[in-house]
Amino acid sequence: GCLPQGVRTKKEEAMFHASFQVMNLLYLGLHVLIFFDLQYVGRFWCLYETFLATHGACAAGICMADDDSRYTLLCLGASKKDGIAKEFRESWKKKTVEEALLLLREDDIEVTNKK
């Protein structure tokens, strides 16, 4: 399932915000399935989740993962026809936290709720 979307009751709103506070831990600790298409590269949450999936938790905070075993990248549509998925994967798994933050702040990265 997913967290309640759209208009929420007070109870749903409380659950949404409590869950949202720890959502990043799911992407840092579980296997992540990435449905990659050409629009994916401009979406904030997709990029944030990809960063977390290609990294891991360590004593210093967030560090680069040793391998690609924590995620599966499935190409959809036009992304199957070129090498952009491989470049995308290689680029994100090498990013530091600081580099990811700078990229996620760019004006052309779309945030769903505009917050």
- What is the full per-residue pLDDT of the chain (115 aa) written as tens digits? 678 888 999 999 998 889 888 888 888 889 999 999 999 999 999 999 999 999 998 898 999 988 889 999 999 999 988 788 989 999 999 999 999 999 999 999 998 766 5
Pick left, alpha or beta for residue 44 (phi over 0 → left; psi -120 to 50 → alpha; otherwise beta).
alpha
The domain segmentation of the chain, as residue ranges, is 25-104
The model's pLDDT over 62-83, given as tens digits with 9 standing for 90+, comes to 999 888 899 999 999 999 887 8
> Which residue from 56, 59, 43, 22 is spatially nearest to 110, judged by alpha carbons?
43
Position 114 scores a pLDDT of 60
pTM for the predicted model, two decimal places: 0.84
Burial 32-62 (b: 16+ CB within 10 A, else e): bebebbeebbebbebbbbbbbbbbeeeeeeb
What is residue 6's predicted lDDT score, i.e. its pLDDT? Answer: 86
pLDDT at 97: 95
26: nearest Cα among 65, 71, 78? 71
